[in-house]
Amino acid sequence: MCGIAGMVQRDPSQQADQALLQRMCTSLHHRGPDAQGLFLRGPVGLGSRRLSIIDLATGQQPIFNESGNIAVILNGEIYNFRELRPTLEAKGHRFATRTDTEVIVHLYEEYGVDAVHRLRGMFALALWDGERQRLLLARDRVGKKPLFYADLPDRLLFASEIKAILQDPEVSTAIDLQALDAYLAFQFIPHPLTIYQAVRKLPPAHRLIWEQGDVTIEPYWRLDFSRKTPIRADELGEALRARLAEATQSRLISDVPLGALLSGGVDSSAVVALMAQAMDRPVQTFSVGFAEEAYNELPYARQVAQRFATDHHEMLVTPDVAGLLPRLVWQYDEPFADQSAVPTLYVARMASRHVTVVLNGDGGDEAFAGYDKYRFSRWQRAW
């Protein structure tokens, strides 16, 4: 995970605040401990904290186009960069690195703000077009990577976390009562709201375009429910397996060690199985459990680890876990009621001692309506 931050002044004669940009980046150090990159040019400032995963030597951000008038910073990963690059090279674009980030600037040269349509990955990005004096912010289709912004009278701020935006003393910390109401109802704060009136989330599959002081926020992709699949019902299982295998393979592109979080449930077990088939070495798997048998899933995780001969690591959540709560409050920046955050932080800390990147099964229940609340909602509508 990396962190990005930046600003653009509404008055083009004003210089971006370098001291503020540095404070914003410093607050994101935990997201990207490997390197920092700053770019200041007139009214714009871009900052990056990098966790190096691809092209460790030359992937320092910001990344520029050939003429240097387009700059991009990225939090995340573009999975289809290897497919996009040859087409761009055939059109005459010259690449200076092997990183996935560089594909974005050349795509933008070809397609403008519509370049984000062609990106497949998990990402939050910021791109500055010096010739057009345009800032483009974009977030991936399902919102895996966060991106927040504050539209102030004199400038626009953006960052991977709210705490970076709050480095500007002009950003009000007044509580948004609508957001608080939503939190009490849903146990999270839906986009575009945050707990602060002055800070907003860029929704998934949306782009923000800043040009001549005006801000436009629009969707660049929508899930199409109108299409009917040509696949027969008895072929759906194999089709899904092929899609998952291809998706897993694309996420194994890395110049650093990677592993998987394993709970023993269907989602994470499927990911581990597909990783084991695709990798030429044992998958490193990481699991946490509880002393209370009713909540302990370690036996299931062990069965999966044994079946696929993984290099397995596990630990029990102990009562001193309460000591992690201040860290979680600091990390999330706003109210968040998912208790799984505690064991997730536990297992992430364990995994970080062995690998840099982990895959997991998050999203499976959302995609396939696996939670009881989806069935309850359907029953309520029926009655």
Question: Which residues are tagged catalytic?
Answer: 2
SS3 62: coil
Instruction: Return the amino acid letter for 11.
Output: D
CA distance 78 to 100: 6
Please list, in sequence order, all residues whose beta carbon lies within 8 angstroms of the beta carbon of residue 53, skipping any fewer than 6 positions away: 77, 254, 255, 256, 356, 357
Helix/strand/coil for 348? helix
Find out whether the peptide bond into 319 is cis, omega within 30 degrees of 0. Answer: no
* The dihedral sign for the CA sequence 23, 59, 3, 254: negative
Residue with tokens 């895996």: 144
The answer to whether the beta carbons of residues 184 and 198 sit under 8 Å apart is no
| CA–CA gap between residue 63 and residue 85 (Å, rounded) | 15
Q: Are strands 311-317 and 284-290 parallel, antiparallel or unpaired?
A: parallel
Half-sphere exposure of 257 (CA within 13 A, CB side): 13
What's 234's DSSP letter? G
